[in-house]
């Protein structure tokens, strides 16, 4: 393999790697001046470029050729070529008067910059690199630069006075990429975020920088998007409240996102911009633009459309062009191409030199197989930007596939790929390589056909036709030695996911995961998301664990794993993961959010609130946190705070369906049931195609035990949305309640019918089976009930209350063996869900029943009552306002002989709560005074009991018993 070199210039920028011939060529051109350092690639020592004999000889030859060092005047060398910006900053800055174009020098240089530029950090001095990068449309992508030969001569003559010529690499070359023919782009960049504060820019400087940023943005190539991003970051570091620049930065991030690493750093960059613009333009059109961008990045196209429509309504007289563009992207994502084209024509009229809309239009025609129209659009792009890489490649592909012009296609594709210095969509790269391979195969050029087939295979190893071709044309082991490009595979998988093809995407992600020397964490996350979407939760969790192993600092892996584990009720496992994650990044917003989510699902609402409010300090625009806080406060009974957070959630995103539902429930809790009901009905009228609103209304009725209205609502849902699983579940639960209320077997049958339908829609979901078991239990079909519960147990042993219900079935059936089994189940439930009271009350009831059956053993009886008291004490710690628990505790204390504790609790309840509604307390008190022999006091207590419960079933027996005791006392006193 030929030796490669790195070059370091006077600004300490690392360029390369280059071959020896390339460096000599650059010295001849005057791009390397003798001030640079060189190092063998990848890890040699830095030495002056003049210490290399070949480079030094060429430097001397360059000096001797005096005809090659004629200089231009300083004035000429400093000239900058400008053109009218294709995109003017119309939203804020008035259009400037166009300057006349300056003449272009005959000497031109194509710009190529090393790949390492992607990951570098920028300082104030870097701005000079970007100031001279305006393209001239007529000269295409060749950027006018100063003739550096005069300065090169002066510097070199001065430097050779010293024993050794010192110092490092090239030139004024900047921000593009040098890729040799055999190198395939990984195409990964990082999104930038604000790091430092700068001196505020003047109005003219601000206009100039924004103009440059928009000019670069209009060119629709990744290298130009990166330049645009840099300009916008510089603006914002000096003017941190410039909402126009924030909105354009969001647009740039949208274009860069498919080519970004998409790691924690990039996600934080997105969140940082959203956080900043939402603070300074809360509910405004610019924050709306950025939020619609975020929805597009998340592939939530309908959500994006709703945000755009809301923003357009508020836009009034201002320029809507970027919203129209986002609308086109949203419609394209939904495959609604005709609707997209209606808006794209308007965009063309408003900004005729903006390339991206033409490319979108062409791509839609390409996907619709309308190749003639696609060709016209790509040709329009090339009239604006003749060197546009993607347009050239697409035309090359169409030349062959549609126009059958093999030679023309070969020439265009090979020329574009040979000089490739731009990151592009790997799918287009794949199609280009496959087209060239096919062309050369037909031309019987086996060497070139194999070369391009291998390049294509590195992008799509799942293509069997490529594998067969490589095996046929190549030597043994050729296929196995082909390097697979992970990032392109991930990108292709992402495209399939956006089309709803998660199964197909999963295979690309798996190849990407194992393609390099290191496992790819991002690919593992993508696999996990696909598996979770396909309801294969166990494997999804395992892939997230692999993602953490591959990259322990990628916070998204931890958050998703906590989300998935807690969704499956594995709270201990989720907490263990969070404890590991917090050591990696203590102040991470995602980790705090995960703690809040986990606490909420564990019903630890106060803890959820604490973590949620801390998370908001890091990212104040996350509506999921607002919704969590709203629900937590609602469950705690603090309806005012619940309402405030619900209101904030819809202020952040008025188009969020969960936020609107959350708000409806909050106003219902704070201002009355009918307010919440009316709000949900209003949302149903406004958005008749959104199933979540009638679904939420049905649940709202159900929770308030308005079963008739709930039945009507859920029946409406399944009529219009027959795949609504949760509607079937609720119908089953409703008929179960009605069957018990009316003692109606037919309603129990309806209940199981709907629950079975729900189960068939998703056989991996234990919820329908759980409620089916509950319905059978209400109908006293204990054997059938236990069968259903055992199925739930086999699907998810952590499902809440499954062990409790299995214990309850055995408890209801009675018998010593069943009671022992019931107790075992109750203990298991309390271990798995220590924050739920059900298992403790069941254990208490079991101990009480054991005590009652131990009539011949006083010690055994007392011991079981003491255990009963302990279990109810645990339940009271969780629900200290549940009077029923106190009544049962009094009963257990009484049974154990601890009358003092029983009396103390009973009197405390009576003092605090009064007498109304709790007759059982007085019955227990009466029994205690009876046991103590205080019959007259017992008689007074029982009178209160009878007044509260006139039809008490034990009234006559108590009266007869007391009369007998009192009669005996009177007789004995005589």
> Per DSSP, what are the bridge partners of residue 18?
5
**By the 8 A CB rule, do 11 and 4 touch?**
no
Long-range contacts of 918-923 (CB under 8 A, 24+ apart): 918/883, 918/887, 918/948, 919/945, 919/948, 919/949, 919/952, 920/887, 921/883, 921/886, 921/887, 921/890, 922/948, 923/952, 923/954
Cβ contact 660:689 at 8 Å: no
- In 568-634 the beta strands, taken as DSSP E runs, fall at none
**Please, are residues 864 and 851 in contact by the beta-carbon 8 Å criterion?**
yes
pLDDT (0 to 100) of residue 60: 65
At 516, list the tokens. 């390099």
Q: Which residues have C-beta within 8 Å of that of residue 448, sequence separation ≥ 6? A: 436, 437, 440
Other Cβ atoms closer than 10 A to 107: 14
Is 305:330 a contact under the CB 8 Å cutoff? Answer: yes
Alpha helices in 167-300 (DSSP H): 203-218, 222-238, 243-256, 264-280, 285-297
Contacts of 153-161 with CB under 8 Å at 24 or more apart are 153/62, 153/63, 153/69, 155/33, 155/34, 155/35, 156/33, 156/34, 156/59, 156/62, 156/63, 157/63, 159/34, 159/35, 159/50, 160/34, 160/50
- Give the closest residue to 129 by CA, choosing from 234, 221, 245: 234
Neighbours of 963 (CB within 10 A): 12
Label residues 650-672 b or e (16+ Cβ within 10 Å = b): bbbbbbbbebbbbbbbbbbbbee
CA-CA distance, 579 to 925, in Å (whole number)? 49
Residues 228, 216 contacting (CB under 8 angstroms): yes
116 DSSP 8-state letter = G
Q: Which helix (H) or strand (E) holds 540?
A: helix 537-550
Q: What is the pTM of this model?
A: 0.65
CA angle 155, 158, 159 (to 5 degrees): 85
Q: Write down the pLDDT at residue 77.
A: 35
Please calculate the CA angle 37-38-44 and round it to the nearest 5 degrees: 125
pLDDT averaged per 10 residues in sequence order, the chain, 974 residues: 75 75 82 79 71 74 49 37 40 33 32 33 39 37 32 40 34 33 51 85 89 93 92 91 92 92 83 86 85 89 86 71 93 91 90 93 92 93 92 93 90 88 83 92 90 86 82 74 75 81 89 82 93 90 93 88 93 90 74 93 93 87 90 94 92 83 94 95 90 95 94 95 93 94 92 95 92 94 95 93 95 90 95 91 94 80 93 93 90 92 88 74 89 87 89 88 77 68
Are 76 and 45 contacting, i.e. CB atoms less than 8 angstroms apart? no
CA pair distance 882, 676, nearest whole angstrom: 27
Q: How many Å is the maximal CA-CA distance in the chain?
A: 145
pLDDT at residue 496, as a whole number = 84
Strand order in the sheet with 14-19: 14-19, 4-8, 37-40, 47-48
d(CA 510, CA 524) in angstroms, rounded, equals 7
Contact 561, 539 (CB under 8 A): no
Q: What is the DSSP string of 129-170?
A: HHHT-PPPGGGTTPBP----HHHHHHHHHHHTTSSS----B-
Angle of CA points 488, 492, 494, to nearest 5° = 115
Q: What's phi and psi for 94, nearest 5 deg?
A: -65, 150
Phi/psi-derived region of residue 369, left when phi > 0, alpha when psi is between -120 and 50, beta in every other case: left
Tell me how far apart the alpha carbons of residues 391 and 358 are, in angstroms, rounded to a whole number. Answer: 10
Please state, as a whole number, how many other Cβ atoms lie within 10 Å of the Cβ of residue 530.
25
CA 575 to chain centre: 20
């Amino acid at each position: 393999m030929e030796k490669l070199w790195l070059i370091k210039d006077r600004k300490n920028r690392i360029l390369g790697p280059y071959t020896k011939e390339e460096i000599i060529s650059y010295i001849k051109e005057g791009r390397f001046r003798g001030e640079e350092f060189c190092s063998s690639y990848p890890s040699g020592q830095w030495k002056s470029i003049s210490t290399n004999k070949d480079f030094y000889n060429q430097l001397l030859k360059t000096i001797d050729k005096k005809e090659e060092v004629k200089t231009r005047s300083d004035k000429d060398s400093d000239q900058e070529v400008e053109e009218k910006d294709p995109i003017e900053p119309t939203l804020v800055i008035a259009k400037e008067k166009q300057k006349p174009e300056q003449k272009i020098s005959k000497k031109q240089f194509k710009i190529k910059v090393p790949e390492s530029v992607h990951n570098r950090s920028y300082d104030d001095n870097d701005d000079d690199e970007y100031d001279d990068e305006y393209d001239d449309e007529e000269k295409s992508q060749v950027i006018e630069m100063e003739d550096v030969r005069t300065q090169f001569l002066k510097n070199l003559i001065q430097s050779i006075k010293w024993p050794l010529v010192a110092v490092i690499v090239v030139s004024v070359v900047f921000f593009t990429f040098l890729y040799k023919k055999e190198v395939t782009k990984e195409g990964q960049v990082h999104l930038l975020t604000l790091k430092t504060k700068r001196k505020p820019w003047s109005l003219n400087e601000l206009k100039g920088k924004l103009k440059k940023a928009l000019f670069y943005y209009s060119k629709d190539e990744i290298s130009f998007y990166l330049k645009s991003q840099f300009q916008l970051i510089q603006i914002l570091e000096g003017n941190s409240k410039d909402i126009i620049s924030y909105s354009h930065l969001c647009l740039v991030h949208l274009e860069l996102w498919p080519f970004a690493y998409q790691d924690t750093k990039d996600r934080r960059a997105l969140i940082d911009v959203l956080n900043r613009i939402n603070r300074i333009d809360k509910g405004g059109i610019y924050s709306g633009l950025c939020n619609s961008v975020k929805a597009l990045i998340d592939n939530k196209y309908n959500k994006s459309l709703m945000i755009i429509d809301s923003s357009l309504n508020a836009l009034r007289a201002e320029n809507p062009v970027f919203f129209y563009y986002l609308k086109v992207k949203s419609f394209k994502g939904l495959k609604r191409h005709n609707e997209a084209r209606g808006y794209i024509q308007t965009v063309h009229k408003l900004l005729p030199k903006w390339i991206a809309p033409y490319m979108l239009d062409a791509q839609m025609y390409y996907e619709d197989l309308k190749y003639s129209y696609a060709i016209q659009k790509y040709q329009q792009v090339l009239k604006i930007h003749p060197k546009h890489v993607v347009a050239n490649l697409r035309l090359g592909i169409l030349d062959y596939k549609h126009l059958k012009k093999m030679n023309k296609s070969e020439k265009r594709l090979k020329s574009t790929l040979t000089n490739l210095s731009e990151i592009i969509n790997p799918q287009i790269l794949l199609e280009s390589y496959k087209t060239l391979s096919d062309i050369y195969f037909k031309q019987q050029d086996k060497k070139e056909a194999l070369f391009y087939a291998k390049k294509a295979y590195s992008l799509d190893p799942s293509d069997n036709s490529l594998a067969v071709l490589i095996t046929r044309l190549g030597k043994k082991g050729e296929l196995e030695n082909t390097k697979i490009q992970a990032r392109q595979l991930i990108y292709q998988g992402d495209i399939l996911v956006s089309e709803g093809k998660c199964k197909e995407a999963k295979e690309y992600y798996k190849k990407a995961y194992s393609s390099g020397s290191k496992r790819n964490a991002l690919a593992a996350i993508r696999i996990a998301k696909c598996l979770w979407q396909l309801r294969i939760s166990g494997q999804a969790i395992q892939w997230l664990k692999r993602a953490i192993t591959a990259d322990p600092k990628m916070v998204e892996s931890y958050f998703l794993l906590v989300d998935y584990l807690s969704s499956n009720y594995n709270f201990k496992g989720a907490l263990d993961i969070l404890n590991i994650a917090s050591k990696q990044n203590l102040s991470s917003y995602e980790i705090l959010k995960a703690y809040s989510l986990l606490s909420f699902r564990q019903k630890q609402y106060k803890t959820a609130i604490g973590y949620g409010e801390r998370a908001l300090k890091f990212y104040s625009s996350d509506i999921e946190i607002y919704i969590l806080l709203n629900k937590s406060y609602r469950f705690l009974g603090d309806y005012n705070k619940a309402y405030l957070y619900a209101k904030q959630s819809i202020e952040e995103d008025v188009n969020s369906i969960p936020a609107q539902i959350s708000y409806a429930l909050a106003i219902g809790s704070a201002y009355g049931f009918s307010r919440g009901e009316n709000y949900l009905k209003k949302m149903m009228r406004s958005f008749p195609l959104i199933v979540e609103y009638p679904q939420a209304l049905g649940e709202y009725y159900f929770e308030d035990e308005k079963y008739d209205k709930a039945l009507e609502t859920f029946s409406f849902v399944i009529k219009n949305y027959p795949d609504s699983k949760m509607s079937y579940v609720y119908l089953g639960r409703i008929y179960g309640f009605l069957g018990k209320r009316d003692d109606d077997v037919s309603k129990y049958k309806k209940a199981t019918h709907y629950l079975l339908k729900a189960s068939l829609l998703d056989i991996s979901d234990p919820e329908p089976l759980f409620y089916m078991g509950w319905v059978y239990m209400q109908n006293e079909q204990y054997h059938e009930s236990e069968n259903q519960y055992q199925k739930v147990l086999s699907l998810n042993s952590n499902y809440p209350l499954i062990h409790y219900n299995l214990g309850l079935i055995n408890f209801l059936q009675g018998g010593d063996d069943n009671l022992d089994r019931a107790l075992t189940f109750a203990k298991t439930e309390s271990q798995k869900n220590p924050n739920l009271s059900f298992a403790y009350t069941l254990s208490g009831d079991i101990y009480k029943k054991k005590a009652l059956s131990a009539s011949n053993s006083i010690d055994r009886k007392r011991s079981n009552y003491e255990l009963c008291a302990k279990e109810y004490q645990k339940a009271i710690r969780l629900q200290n306002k549940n009077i029923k628990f106190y009544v049962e505790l009094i009963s257990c204390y009484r049974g154990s002989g601890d009358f003092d504790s029983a009396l103390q609790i009973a009197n405390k309840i009576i003092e605090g709560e009064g007498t109304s509604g709790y007759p059982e307390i007085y019955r227990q008190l009466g029994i205690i005074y009876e046991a103590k022999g205080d019959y007259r006091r017992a008689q007074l207590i029982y009178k209160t009991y009878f007044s509260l419960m006139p039809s008490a079933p034990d009234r006559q027996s108590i009266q007869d018993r007391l009369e007998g005791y009192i009669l005996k006392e009177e007789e004995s006193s005589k």
